[in-house]
A = this chain, B = another copy of it.
Amino acid sequence: MNLNKSSVVDLPLVRQALGLGSPGRWPVWFMRQAGRYLPEYMALRSKMEFVELCRSPKDAAEVTLQPLRRFDLDAAIIFSDILIPCTALGQNLTFGKGHGPQLSPPVQSRDAFRRLRRPDVAAELGYVADALALTKSKLPPGKALIGFAGAPFTVGTYMIEGGSSKEFTATKSMVFRDPVLFADLMKLLRDVTIDYLIMQVKAGADALMLFDTWAGNLTPIDYARDVWPVTADLLATVREATGVPVTYFSGQGSDRILELGGNAQINSRKAFDVLSVDWRVRLSYAARLVKEAGLDVALQGNLDPQALIGPEEQVRASVRSILDEAREACDAGLIHGHIFNVGHGLLPHTPPEAVGWAIDEVRKHGANGPTR
């Protein structure tokens, strides 16, 4: 592994900022903390298309840093999109008004799969590395920089469907009718994502996150058979190669958690340090499942992003409830840390001041950190 270790600066600080074992400051950041709910983002975005913004290191770095100027956050997450790597695979990516991302041509046959390229990630997605390096150079001390990618299943659904989906009919057709083709696509995405995430750490990412937003739509049995082994391999490989903390987000409730520890193939390899859970599960219950699955990890989450619509006292009460459950789970030895976050990305209508209330409540109610 050719990783330039000197670029992985201050790992103990990063680990502490992400709540991995050290008491003290309770770490907090928000999924999609850079984005449409911020007027300063909308001002910049009005001048260029979304994909163009992702491809411009200077603008992507600027947008990444915007929320840290406004809020007392512990981490920046590089501004990008989980579908950016699909462009290097040979698909065309557009974001049409009102109908979300579109990828063409869709990959629904062996022929379409054969036309995908195994890219030289550094050459074709180097602008993401440049954005990370630029962000890193401007990041205030003590703040962690998070790199990320979409997980093979979640990215695969967009590649197969040609965009967003409600029922995942084309994806499940492939899973059930052509499992060999589906497995080949998963393996290609695993390999490209390994390269992509390692590149991000080389460029300055202090931690990594893998988003498997739609994994919850498969049955736990199909997920455990067709998706988790290749995903776990990806995560463990990246974790071993880079040495940075890795977070996995499996999306949509708790039904996946027990599967995450149960794969013989990965029993001897730790796949992730932090499990990010969405708002559909009580944090205390997720912590129990994590323990039952034999996972030795921290939890991240899980405020309902819509709870930020509410009045100040309701926002603060929701935050306190999560902090209390997290501290109890830490004290009971179920998890060994907690990162406060939302259960899914912030929404365009989120009032920025509500994000401020939530962070302030983490600072006050969580003053002594998640572990006593």
Contacts and interface: CB of A to CB of B under 8 A. Distances in A.
A357 interface: no
Contact of A309 (B169, B255, B280): B169
Nearest to A168: B306
A254 B280 CA distance: 9
Given A167-B306, A167-B347, A281-B255, A177 B217 contact: no
A311 interface: yes
Contact of A221 (B216, B282, B347): B282
A169 B281 contact: no
Interface string A127-161: 00000000000000000000000000000000000
A88 interface: no
B280 A220 contact: yes
Q: How many of these chains are in the complex?
A: 2
Given A176-B310, A349-B169, A280 B304 contact: no
Given A176-B311, A347-B167, A254 B254 contact: yes
Interface string A274-299: 00000111100100000000000000
A177 B309 CA distance: 8
A98 to B, nearest CB: 11
Given A167-B347, A169-B349, A176 B306 contact: yes
B279 A309 contact: no
A217 B255 CA distance: 14
Contact of A310 (B177, B253, B258): B177
A193 interface: no
Interface in A153-202: 167-169, 172-173, 176-177
A172 B318 CA distance: 14
Interface residues of A, number: 34
A167 B222 CA distance: 27
Nearest to A282: B220
Nearest to A302: B219
A321 interface: yes
Contacts of A263: none
A177 B281 CA distance: 22
A211 to B, nearest CB: 18
A309 B254 contact: no
A7 interface: no
Interface of A: 167-169, 172-173, 176-177, 216-222, 252-255, 258, 279-282, 285, 304, 306-307, 309-311, 314, 321, 347, 349
Nearest 3 pairs between A and B by C-beta?
A176-B310, A253-B253, A172-B306
